[in-house]
């Protein structure tokens, strides 16, 4: 299908106040929080979201992010937010994809027809398959209800991925840069049984989504993030949540999304799940300004979106972690 275009949305950027200080804790503290295997995060940056597909709502008020901590240094000191203008890593606010028009009337070269399918599985997950025989090893962008991430087809032009559904009537657009692509739909009736929070960004911004379930501390069982082994079976059984990272981090201009899922409809536990956004200071983002966007499923099927612009401390703070405690809302869960 042709004429897929990304149209910039009028989503106001929510900036962190310049005067916020960053509390630096000892390297031993960071070691205890993230463990010996904590890796230098080479993570993409703020992604573009397509908020028009299902009437998603976006926040256009100033976001006051408090309690930003910078962990990992010998003594507690204040690190000023850099005033960056010329060296800003600019990440565009999300964009929205439009369904191609007159796609069925556009001719294709013989043997280049695309085929796409969506199969609904457990835990409101959808398996997307794409066969694009004339688009081998090509980058494409997957759009779904405001979420966007990039993937790459294999040598045969095939792609198979699992995506957490964010709405009952789920529409997925797979768009190549030349305007070709495919659109598939799936009915996901059990999506209401799951709480889902998404963080998305572009490039190597260093962001991570963390969940500490029912009082768990960093490094304990119940601290869920993409850098540790996770229990997918426990998620389907109502025992714990799960974070899935979507996107090919090796592709050019990569878009990455992390989705935290908790089975609130059949939870075996009651209590609070603390959610936080964290960003590691790396050589890829130090001294720059990076952006991300959060998507939160709300009661009634609406999507709450918030944009974040964050000035990262200078390169002398590499290896430290910025902790944003109130960018996304904590979850309150009752057992079922």
Report the Cα 33 to chain-centroid distance in Å.
Answer: 22
pTM for the whole thing? 0.73
Virtual CA dihedral for 294, 261, 256, 46, nearest 10 degrees?
10
Q: Across the 336 residues of the chain, what is the mean pLDDT of every consecutive 10-residue run? A: 31 24 33 39 33 35 45 37 36 42 49 93 96 96 97 97 96 95 96 95 94 95 94 92 95 92 94 95 94 86 88 94 89 90
Provide the pLDDT for residue 300.
Answer: 66
Tokens read off for 111? 């043997």
Q: Which one-letter DSSP state was computed for residue 144?
A: E
Supply the pLDDT for residue 261: 96
In eight-state DSSP terms, residue 40 is: P
Q: Is the Cβ–Cβ distance between 307 and 293 less than 8 Å?
A: yes
Mode of pairing for the β-strands spanning 169-176 and 181-187: antiparallel
Distance set, CA 231 to CA 28, 181, 234 (Å): 27, 34, 5
Q: What is the pLDDT of residue 110?
A: 67
**Contact of 47 with 255, CB cutoff 8 Å:** yes
Instruction: Report whether 312 contacts 290 (CB < 8 A).
Output: yes
Please state, in angstroms and rounded to a whole number, the distance separating the CA atoms of residues 207 and 230: 19
Q: Residue 94's pLDDT is what? A: 42
Distance spanning both ends of the chain, measured CA to CA: 44
Provide the pairing of β-strand 207-213 with 195-202. unpaired
Residue of 122, 108, 71, 59 lying closest to 261 (CA atoms) = 122
The pLDDT of residue 44 is 32
User: Which helix H or strand E contains 235, and what residues bound it?
Assistant: helix 232-236
Q: How far apart are CA 183 and CA 46, in angstroms?
A: 24
Quick check: helix, strand or coil at residue 315? helix
> Radius of gyration over alpha carbons of the chain, in Å?
20
Phi, psi of 104 (to 5 degrees): -70, -20
What domains are defined for the chain? Answer: 12-94+192-333 (no CATH), 97-101+109-189 (2.60.40.10)
Which uninterrupted H or E stretch holds 323? strand 321-324
Q: CA-CA distance, 18 to 240, in Å (whole number)? A: 37
pLDDT of residue 127: 98
Q: Comparing C-alpha atoms, which of 269, 282, 252 is closest to residue 151?
A: 252
Tokens read off for 45: 């940056």
pLDDT of residue 80: 34
């Amino acid at each position: 299908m042709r004429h897929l275009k990304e149209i910039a949305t009028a989503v106001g950027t929510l900036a962190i106040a310049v005067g916020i200080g960053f509390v630096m804790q000892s390297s031993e503290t960071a070691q205890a929080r993230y463990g010996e295997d904590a890796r230098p995060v080479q993570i993409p940056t703020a992604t573009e979201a397509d908020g028009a597909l299902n009437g998603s709502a976006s926040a256009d008020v100033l976001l006051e992010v408090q309690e930003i901590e910078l962990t990992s240094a010998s003594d507690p000191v204040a690190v000023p937010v850099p005033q960056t203008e010329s060296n800003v890593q600019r990440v565009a606010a999300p964009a929205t994809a439009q369904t191609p028009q007159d796609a069925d009337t556009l001719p294709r070269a013989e043997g280049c027809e695309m085929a796409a399918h969506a199969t609904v599985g457990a835990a409101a997950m959808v398996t997307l398959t794409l066969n694009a025989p004339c688009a081998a090893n090509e980058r494409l962008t997957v759009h779904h209800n405001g979420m966007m991430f990039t993937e790459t087809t294999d040598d045969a032009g095939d792609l198979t991925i699992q995506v957490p559904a964010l709405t009952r009537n789920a529409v997925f657009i797979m768009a190549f840069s030349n305007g070709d692509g495919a659109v598939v739909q799936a009915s996901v009736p059990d999506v209401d049984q799951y709480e889902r929070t998404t963080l998305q960004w572009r490039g190597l911004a260093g962001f991570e989504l963390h969940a500490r379930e029912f009082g768990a501390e960093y490094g304990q069982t119940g601290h869920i993030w993409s850098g540790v082994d996770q229990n997918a079976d426990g998620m389907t059984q109502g025992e714990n949540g799960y974070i899935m990272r979507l996107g090919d981090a090796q592709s050019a201009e990569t878009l990455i999304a992390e989705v935290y899922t908790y089975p609130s409809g059949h939870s075996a536990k009651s209590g609070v799940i603390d959610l936080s956004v964290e960003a590691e200071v790396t050589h890829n983002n130090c001294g720059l300004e990076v952006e991300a966007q959060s998507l939160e499923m709300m009661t009634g099927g609406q999507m709450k979106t918030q944009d974040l612009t964050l000035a990262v401390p200078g390169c002398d703070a590499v290896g430290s972690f910025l902790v944003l405690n109130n960018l996304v809302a904590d979850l309150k869960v009752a057992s079922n």
